[in-house]
Amino acid sequence: MDYYGSDKRPWSSGQDPFSPDSSSSDSTPLFSSDSNGGGFDDLGGPEKPKKRKPMSPKGKNTLKVVALCLVCALIGGLAQPLYHTITGNETTIYTGSRTPTQVDTTAVDTSQELTTAEIYAKYVSSCVGITVDIVSTNIFGQTVTSAAAGSGFVITEDGYILTNYHVIDGANSIKVTFSDGQEYTATYVGGQEQNDIAVIKVEATGLTPVVIGKSSDMLVGEQVTTIGNPLGELTFSETTGIISALDRTITMSDGTQMNMIQTDCAINSGNSGGPLFNSHGEVIGIVSAKYSSSSSSSSASVEGLGFAIPMDDVADMVSDLVSNGYVTGQPLMGISVGDVDQSAQSYGVPAGAIVRVVTPGLCGEKAGLQTGDIITKIGDTEVTSSSELIAAKNTYSPGDTVTLTVYRSGETLTLDLTLEESTPEKEAQQEEAQKAYEEQQQQQLQQEQQQGSGGFSFGF
């Protein structure tokens, strides 16, 4: 059987594919020798080479014609072996008979396993490239506009698109491009930073949505495929690999811990937000991250370690985002936290989640939390970092009252906090408080830099 599965081998009848046609009585071997045997004599030394007669002009013309005929035959796609006589020797040259693959997307059935070509042909029109303009303020208080790129995929016929939250975070404008070159300006519907998912929408109808599968049905070793925009330039690239591991707990660059599918699909910057298909063409994950030996994804030196968010973990949240614009039932503490520096711990300050911002009017302020407090326990759960506090908080529901153990100015105290439900309005309040905190930090940094340079004199 050949590469394409054909049993029609040219030498199935015993004929050597590199030998002349045995049915021809005047043929000579393709590689000729003298009466002594091969190209080397019986003593192992090379025989004296014979002088070759120069090719006549007629022979040269014959060779040119034969070559031209061969090119024409190849272009014509002949499926039969081509026979030509070159300077008296009959030589057989075999051409392939493969017909180019034609994918009938109307006949694709996700109940059956699909080839990667079928997955691409069926769903490349469901995948999009996302480009955003991000407006931010640098440490000098200047407004800076930068661009970022990612991927996404259509989940409804009327224009809802799923991507990663970090792809559109801070976006001033969002542009979506389809494989046919059609571009749309998208609007932000809603997202959840903690689970790194976001829904955007374009004003279009009749789109081809993907089919959502169950990530819990996947097994290690099964084939998966992704379509995305690596580097933001190589648009609509398909890469294929396998499930390398399931239920990986990954710590993101901001300290957030997430459950992930591990895959060896080629994933690079720009692939974020793209779909991870199983062999049936169903989306079982959202491509989200690549392991890097440094803090910059663009300088990743580790290959074959990509991660995707399992669809089972976020499917209900996505439905909430489409219906309500936010994920319902999520608990809120009304604070922003960070990790306690190791240098501070060396002076007897306990490890925990240090409160950076207390949002006015929300439950954290009502419970009596203050900036600089270090939360070391929530309920009966010990807390040594901000990610541990967030993970413990998410085990509760809005309306639950939790007891916090807090270290403040050398003393330990307990506070009761009643969790609120997170809504877009309350998230906006927190973002505003966070922005004010960052501006204050920038001003403080500028003052420190000015004071540091004030002790120097120049011009003497």
Tell me, rounded to whole angstroms, the distance of Cα 175 from its chain centroid.
19
Beta bridge pairs of residue 9: none
280 is catalytic: no
Q: Which of 140, 194, 79, 177 is nearest to 186 (CA)?
A: 177
Residue 295 is a catalytic residue? no
Of 196, 313, 320, 373, the catalytic one is: 196
Count of C-beta atoms within a 10 Å radius of residue 411: 7
Q: Which residue has the tokens 């003497």?
A: 460
Tell me if residue 301 is catalytic: no
DSSP 279-336: TTSEEEEEEEEE--SSS-GGG----S-EEEEEHHHHHHHHHHHHHHSS-TT-EE-SEE
CA distances from 230 to 106, 268, 338, 411 (A): 28, 5, 32, 51
* Burial profile 166-203: b = 16 or more Cβ within 10 angstroms, e = fewer: bbbeebeebbbbbbeeeebebeebbbbebbbbbbbbbe
**Catalytic position from the list 269, 272, 386, 387:** 272
Q: Which of 196, 424, 222 is nearest to 332 (CA)?
A: 424
163: Cα separation from own chain's centroid: 11
The H or E element containing residue 456 is: none
Burial of 263 (0-12, 13-18, 19+ CB in 10 A): buried
Q: Are 353 and 223 in contact (CB under 8 A)?
A: no
Please tell me which residue in 126, 151, 166, 244 is annotated as part of the active site.
Answer: 166
Could you give the residue numbers annotated as active site? 166, 196, 272
